[in-house]
Structure 1
Amino acid sequence: MAIISRNMETQERIINTFEELQSAIHSLKSQIVEFEMLFNQACNRHIASDFKKEWLLDRISSRHTMILIRHDSLQLIQETVSAYRDYDGFFLDHKQLLDAIELLMLTHAEEEEYEMAAIIKKWHEKFADAVYFLADLSY
């Protein structure tokens, strides 16, 4: 059984969380494209129905807006976390990294952007779990 230092295990966990974040961003980009196409189709249907399908536009627009908020939030987190990454791909100063994400969350809460703050909080918790994990000491 190989012994891995706590720091290396922490790095692995943070890197995995960061990759999960990047994957979520990529998925949201695909959803944004899909909703833009749906919106165009809904506009055409609205026009074809003599402007009687406004509810469809509103529904698609609302969902598109939520996806954009999620995407923008994850982009901000990615930029913040990337600032603590060195050239070798390792994350430096874990406490400051978590503090920076928390500050980002609080800033959006103060600006009453509660959806963004909630999304950032979720990812703050994920990164905190990666940093402050309990090692499995069972044999």
Structure 2
Amino acid sequence: MALIPKETELQEKLTMIFEDLLLKKENIKKDLVRTRTDFNSACDTHIKSGFKLEQDWLDANLCHRLKFIEYEMYCHIAEVLNDFKDIYGQFPEYIEMHQTLNHIMIQLAQEEKYELAAITKLWVDKIESTIQEYNYC
């Protein structure tokens, strides 16, 4: 039975987290496209109604705007994590990566951008639990 070093297992888990993040980002992008289509449809309906269905248009606009902000946050988190990847696809400075994301989360909370802080916290917690699982924190 071959023994796998803890560092290798940690790197595999961090890679899986990164891949999960990218998958989630792509799913949000699909939702963003859908909300844009819904927004366009609501605009058309609003115009065809003689500008009487304003609330549907406003709701669709808000939904699309919120989804866009969520997508941008996922893009930002992916960029941060990607900055810590080396040419082999590993995360040698994973503690600094965790601290950077944690700092971003705290900064967002201080700016009262709680929804964005919550998104970031999800990924901070996943990274932190993985690091702790392998006793590196």
TM-score (norm 1): 0.90
Q: Which runs of 5+ in 2 are unaligned?
A: none
Residue pair 1:13, 1:131 contacting (<8 A) in 2 also: no
Cα distance in structure 1, aligned partners of 2:40 and 2:56:
11
**Aligned residue in 2 for 1:133:** 133
Matched residue type, 1:66: L
Cα distance in structure 1, aligned partners of 2:3 and 2:62:
50
**Aligned residue in 2 for 1:9:** 9
Shift of 1:134: 5.7
Cα distance in structure 2, aligned partners of 1:116 and 1:69:
8
**Aligned residue in 1 for 2:36:** 36
Q: Say which SS state the counterpart of residue 132 (structure 1) adopts.
A: helix
TM-score (norm 2): 0.91
Q: RMSD across aligned C-alpha pairs, in angstroms?
A: 1.5
Q: Quick one: percent identity of the two aligned structures?
A: 30
Q: Which runs of 5+ in 1 are unaligned?
A: none
Aligned residues: 135
Which one is further off, 41-50 or 65-74? 65-74
Q: Say which SS state the counterpart of residue 67 (structure 1) adopts.
A: helix
Deviations 1:84-127 (CA, angstroms, capped at 9, x unpaired):
11000010122111100001111112222111111101111111
- Where does structure 1 differ by over 2 angstroms across 4 or more consecutive aligned residues? none
Residue pair 1:25, 1:74 contacting (<8 A) in 2 also: yes
